[in-house]
Each structure stands twice: as structure tokens, then as C-alpha cells.
Amino acid sequence: MLSLTETIGRSVQEPRAATVCCVILGILLINCLVKAVYRLWFHPLRRIPGPFLAKVTSLYFVPSTFKNDRVYRLRALHNKHGPAVRVGPNEVSLSDWRMYRRIYTEKTTLKEPRFYNPFSFLGHGNVFSVTTVFTDTADHAGRRKLQAKTYSQNEIRFHASEILERTDVLIDRLLKLATDSPTQTADAYEMFGAWGIEIICKVLTDTKIPDDPSETIHTLKALESSPPTFFANILMPLLQTFKLRTSIPGPLGHAYRAFAEWERRTASMLKTFQNQSRDPDEKRQFGAASLLDADNKHLGRKFQFREALEEAMGILLAGSGVSGHTFLYLTYALARPEGRRIQGRLRKELEGAGDSLSELTALPYLSAVIKETYRVFPAIMSTLPRILGQSLEVVDTDIILPPGTVVGMQNYVHHRDPVLFPKPDMFIPERWLEGHELNQDINLHDANAALTPYSVGSRNCMGQTLAKTELYLSVPRFVKRLDFSLSSKMKEDDMHMRDLWAVLPKGRRLFLDLKPLVSQARSVRHLATLYGLCFFH
């Protein structure tokens, strides 16, 4: 039994503990209330329209982030509130395409560290994740310069034959799948992903590609399953250094295990390249040589292996995803019933065209189809946030955003500006051709300026020359060799774009009914093309 003294002492302590808890809770509530009052009625952004909760808390978009539909919510908010929407206590989303270059080319804006830091996969930083102060861009510039030559026009010419070879392999794989199917149907989704990965692996490390795509598909699945870790790292930064994160149960643990597999496979490719004995001049034609052997001017030394590995992981993710996604959705657009007309018109334009890149890039309808794919199906949907270093006036409004404001735009939103792009949700390549009814009252120069698939400024996609070359060489080959239509196996929302930084189709499948259009035999001209003899004049 407790003594009288102990009983009295405990009875005194319990009310004190309850009082302390109440005081702490009261302080927290008062703090939240004061913040809410300030953000609603005294904050510099108080007059910017937007959802009530977004003005009060930065957690407003957390549900949309986990549902992978953030960009669709943003478009709805812009349709309701106009070109500037307050989407956080100190964050504004803009939708007017004219603001894009103001935000992403000005040297007075800074990458938002909370968004980009989680893209530092191994903690060393990479060209995609590096954030700088307004006056110091040396780190990013040093990393970009180190890799710039690999993705220049001159160097990409060296890889042109490999791009076409991988495209022919893609077509052959699809035809085999169709031949093995009683309905002549092939699921093209994984094959397009393998195409993108195999090309970037050749460009990066000259990887020997096996005939069986299963290993490449394992890499594809690791890349696709990793993005949830980016968002988890934003919301819970401690997970980046949590050693047992691969043991977490459920989808999040699966994502971290996929990330570990992505790291392992990239390291294996890099080590194989590092250990190869070959002519130094030949070796320098591949991206890994710059990462492993060249001096980083900012660091004043070569990358250590783990630093080079992190850069290579970023290149593998971005280099395979953007091109593979664009090619996949272009094929989907042309395979739909309403796209069969487009497919036929494109095939007719290609009948008299040569194989050189200069000839293909000059074809107006091919360019229109590629541009419309960029517009309707942007590979990167997510907001790319920046912090203003000075005031920014929003065009055609009386809004002036103060320094320190987080601002951002999304390709998906301004690519669907109904003023610049009438019938914005429809895939109509003709809108990019002079004289079409959809652009009678529109300046095509403005439309082209509003098309930003690779971003703009010093932070734009350094691999865009490779990506464009892939499409201009591969799409004609694909359309000339195959007649393709959407299979009845496809569901309405299978190709719905999920906002996972890089877009991921909801169903992860694209069933196509296929028919070969030309003989599978390799002609003399085709063999010459594979060895790069008739690409460039």
C-alpha cells in the first residue's frame, strides 16, 4: 500500500503534468492561430487568390502528391482563379506561358532546395539536384560543362547508328510478341522503356545489350518504382539516411528496394566501363569517360567513384524516361482511332524522305507530330519551383510578387492554354502548320515559344539534342515499318498520366495491333544507315 505522503505527492503531480500538457497544447494552438492570421491577412501574398487551406498550410497538396494528380488540381485552380494562384503560405503557381522564361532564365531566381535536395540520390549532389546561391552558380556550371560534350550535336552523330539499331530491335521485339499472339497484339509499354534505357546505356557506358530484354526491363522497373522515394524524402528527410529503409513494409519499402537496385545496376555498368581497356580517344566518346576521368573545374579534381555514380544515376533516369515516354505517347496518339488519319498522313510524308537527320528535321508534318506530343503529353509534368531573388511582376495583372516568394510553372498547364492552343485537350498536329484554322488568330512564334518540353535557360535539359535526335530518327523508322492501332484490350484510363515528376501511365501497358509494312530483310541501304554512312550531309 502507498503511504499517505506518497498518495498526496502523486495526487499533486498528476494535476501538474496535466497542467503542463494543457499549457504546451495551448501555446501550440496560439502559435498556429497567430500564423494563420498572419498568412491570411498580413502576409505579402494575402491578395493572391487560392484555396483557403493553401494560404494557411504548406500541407494542402500532400493528398494530391500521394494520389499523383497534383498537376490536374493545379490546372483546375488556375481555371478557377486565373494566372496566379497561391498554392502555399509562401508559394505561387503561374500559368501564363510568357512568365516561363522570366522565371527559368533569370539569374535572380534560385532552385528551391527543399524540392531539389532529395534528388541528391547518394548525398554527393548531381547536375539535377545542385542548388546555388543567387551569385554562385559554379558548382552546377562545373558539373554541366563536364558532361556537355557528350550530348553535343557533334558527339550525338557518333551514336546515330546505335539509335536506329535499337529502334529496329524495338520493332523486331514487338513483331515477335505480335506473332506469338493469336490476335497479332503486343504490349509495347515495356519495349519502349527498354528502348530508352538501352540507348542511354550505350551513350553513357557503351553497354553490351543482350538480345533478351529481360535484364533491361528489370532496370526499367527499378527506375519506375523509385520516384516515391523522392517525395518521401521531401516529407521525411531523415529517411534519406535511415539504413533500414529497404525493410519498411508496404509500397514505400518497395520503392526504396527499387532505388537500391537502380544504384546497384548503374554501379555495375560504370565499373565495367572503368575496367575496360580501349583506345582513350574511343573511350572519350562515351559519357562515363567524362564522369570518371575528366577534371571538374569547380572541384579542382576528378570525381570519386560514388560522385560519378550519382551523376550516372541521374543521367540514366532522365535520359531514358523523357525519350521513352515521348515515343510511347506519340505511338499511343497515332494508334487511337482518331489518330489513324494522322498516322497515314505522316507515313505519306515519309515516303519520299531520305534517312539523313537534316532531311527528317525539315519535314513539317513529322515536326508537327513531335511538337504536339510534347504539348499534350509532357514528359515532366511537375512544378519546378524557384525562389525569387527580386520582385516579379505578373504580366497582364496588378500582381507583384516579392523577393523570397517560391514560384513555379508546369508544362501540363501552360501547354493547355486555350487562348494559345484552341481545343487544348485534343491531339491535333496541324495546329503547328502555317495556315491551319486553329492558328488563324495565333502567332505561331508564340506557340513555339510556349512549348517548353526541355525547359529553358542554363538549367534546361542538357540531353535534349540526344532526345530530339532519337525521336527524329526513330519515329520515321517505326511508322514506315509498322501499321499499328490500339487494341481492344486497352482500358479508357490505361494511359492516364500520373504525376510522378516524370510521367508514368496509370496502367503501365500499351496493347497494339501490329502489321509489318516492309520486309524484315536488311537492305544494303539499311545496313549502310546502321553504320552511319548516310545520316548527315
Cell triple for 460:
534546361
User: How many helices and strands in the chain, by DSSP H and E?
Assistant: 23, 14
What is the chain's length?
A: 537
Reduced to 3 states (helix: H, G, I; strand: E, B; else coil), residue 485 is strand
Backbone torsions φ then ψ of 302, nearest 5 degrees: -80, 160
Phi, psi values for residue 515, rounded to 5°: -140, 130
Phi, psi for 220 (deg, rounded to 5)? -55, -45
**Per the structure block, which three cell numbers stand in for 426?**
485534343
The cell numbers describing 88, all together, are 502555399
| Residue 22, annotated as binding a ligand | no
Alpha helices in 129-206 (DSSP H): 138-148, 153-158, 160-179, 189-205
- Sign of the dihedral defined by the CA atoms of residues 177, 179, 185, 188, in that order: positive
Q: Tell me, letter by letter, the H, E, C secondary structure of 273-313.
A: HHCCCCCHHHHCCCHHHHHHHCEECCCCEECCHHHHHHHHH
- What is d(CA 33, CA 179) in angstroms, rounded to the nearest whole number? 66
Q: Which of 93, 88, 91 is nearest to 52 (CA)?
A: 88
With CA atoms as reference, report the closest residue to 99 among 88, 110, 83. 83
Other beta carbons within 10 angstroms of residue 298's beta carbon come to 17
CA distance 35 to 37: 5
What is the C-alpha to C-alpha distance for residues 452 and 456, in angstroms, rounded to an integer?
A: 7
CA dihedral 118, 119, 125, 130 (to 10 degrees): -100
Give the type of residue at 64.
Answer: S
The C-alpha torsion from 269 through 271 and 272 to 275, rounded to 10°, is 160
**Binding-site residues for heme:** 461
**Binding-site residues:** 461
